[in-house]
């Protein structure tokens, strides 16, 4: 089947697959303690896509043009035998890249095995280098040490490593320069992420956003930066390189500088719902459709129909009304 494009001529190229809805951290986006406390009911195993189902769907998505898959979810390393899934995916012809989003704590245990299975890179969330603040953000009192040990384990195993830092005004914006220096010193790619209105439980306000322009201006007081051309159509991060090193720093700007026009990403939840936009809470069932005994070609057609009808442009159209009234999926459910 030919590669597919949506109504705005955006190809399907990048697939995020949530393999589990559990997490051992809370995050700034959507894990408030009063909602996602220790008694929160997570999905039963039978509702999760099996590895065999994920592998089957991945083959179909790659046939439709997907070149990159990132495994995500609440914390994907909590899913048993995850390297086995990575190994299955790494054998799919046409798939160029397999990544993993993680809080990093379990990487010392799994990094080498994941690399051997075919994983290319990891994106590690680290919103502060200050132990007290980081413990407040993750809601468990976990200090930065275990995450940094995980980062080092990934580097030692030969995995590419990117750090993701969500910047929220009044919470961790004072950490912008220290985080940049830490990553520059350790040869790590850093992605500053504007605080986004994902989900409906994080109490998001526009006043909490530190924009790319503001972050760049703070960095520019300390470093000389030069822009870097995108590596491919649909690359989300706006990248810059330090003039005195080969390390780059990027910005995810879905609030201040929308990239809807070039979005090539789709998301598959842990229970098999396909989402065509991070900000769209209306998923499309793939799991039950597949479990009804349909053929691969029928699944291809369903995915094609969903993508061809896609017209998501939430970040372009964001208003106070859409923020208040649009149903959105929680990050804990769909993954980063």
Binding-site residue positions for S-adenosyl-L-methionine: 29, 74, 125, 196
CA distances from 221 to 36, 80, 108, 161, 174 (A): 39, 45, 35, 26, 14
Give the residues across from 121 on adjacent strands.
Answer: 99, 160
Beta strands in the chain (DSSP E): 14-18, 68-72, 97-102, 121-125, 160-167, 189-194, 225-227, 238-242, 248-252, 265-268, 273-275, 284-285
- Which residues line the annotated binding site for GTP? 16, 70, 101, 162, 265-267
CA distance 52 to 191: 33
d(Cα 225, Cα 205) in Å, to the nearest integer? 30
Annotated binding residues for [4Fe-4S] cluster: 23, 27, 30, 260, 263, 277
Three-class SS state of 148: helix
- Listed in sequence order, the residues at least 6 apart from 149 whose beta carbon sits closer than 8 Å to its beta carbon are 104, 107, 108
Binding residues: 16, 23, 27, 29-30, 70, 74, 101, 125, 162, 196, 260, 263, 265-267, 277
Are the beta carbons of 70 and 99 closer than 8 angstroms? yes
Judged by DSSP in three states, 180 sits in helix
Q: At 37, give phi and psi (nearest 5°).
A: -80, -170
């Amino acid at each position: 089947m030919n590669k597919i494009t949506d109504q705005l001529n955006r190809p399907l190229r990048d697939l995020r697959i949530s393999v589990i809805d559990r997490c051992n951290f809370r995050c700034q986006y959507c894990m408030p303690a009063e909602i996602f406390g220790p008694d929160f009911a997570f999905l039963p195993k039978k509702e999760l896509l099996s590895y065999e189902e994920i592998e089957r769907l991945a083959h179909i998505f790659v046939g439709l043009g997907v070149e990159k898959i990132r495994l995500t979810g609440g914390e994907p390393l909590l899913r048993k035998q995850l390297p086995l899934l990575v190994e299955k995916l790494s054998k799919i012809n046409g798939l160029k890249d397999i990544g993993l989003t993680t809080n990093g704590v379990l990487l010392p245990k799994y990094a080498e095995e994941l690399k051997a299975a075919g994983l290319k890179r990891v994106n590690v969330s680290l919103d502060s280098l200050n132990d007290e603040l980081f413990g407040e953000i993750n809601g468990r009192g976990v200090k930065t040490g275990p995450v940094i040990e995980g980062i080092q384990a990934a580097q030692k195993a030969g995995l590419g490593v990117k750090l993701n830092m969500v910047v929220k005004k009044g919470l961790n914006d004072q950490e912008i320069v220290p985080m940049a220096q830490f990553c520059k010193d350790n040869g790590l790619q850093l992605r500053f992420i504007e605080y986004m209105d994902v989900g409906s439980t994080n109490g998001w306000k526009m006043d909490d956003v530190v924009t790319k322009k503001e972050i760049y201006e703070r960095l520019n007081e300390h470093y000389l930066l030069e822009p870097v051309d995108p590596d491919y159509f649909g690359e989300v991060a706006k990248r810059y390189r330090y003039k005195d090193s080969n390390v780059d720093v990027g910005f995810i700007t879905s609030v201040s500088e929308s990239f809807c026009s070039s979005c090539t990403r789709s998301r598959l939840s842990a229970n098999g719902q396909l989402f065509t936009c991070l900000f769209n809470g209306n998923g499309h069932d793939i799991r039950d459709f597949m479990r009804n005994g349909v053929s691969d070609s029928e699944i291809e057609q369903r995915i094609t129909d969903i993508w061809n009808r896609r017209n998501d442009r939430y970040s372009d159209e964001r208003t106070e009304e859409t923020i208040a009234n649009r149903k959105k999926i929680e990050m804990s459910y769909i993954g980063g």
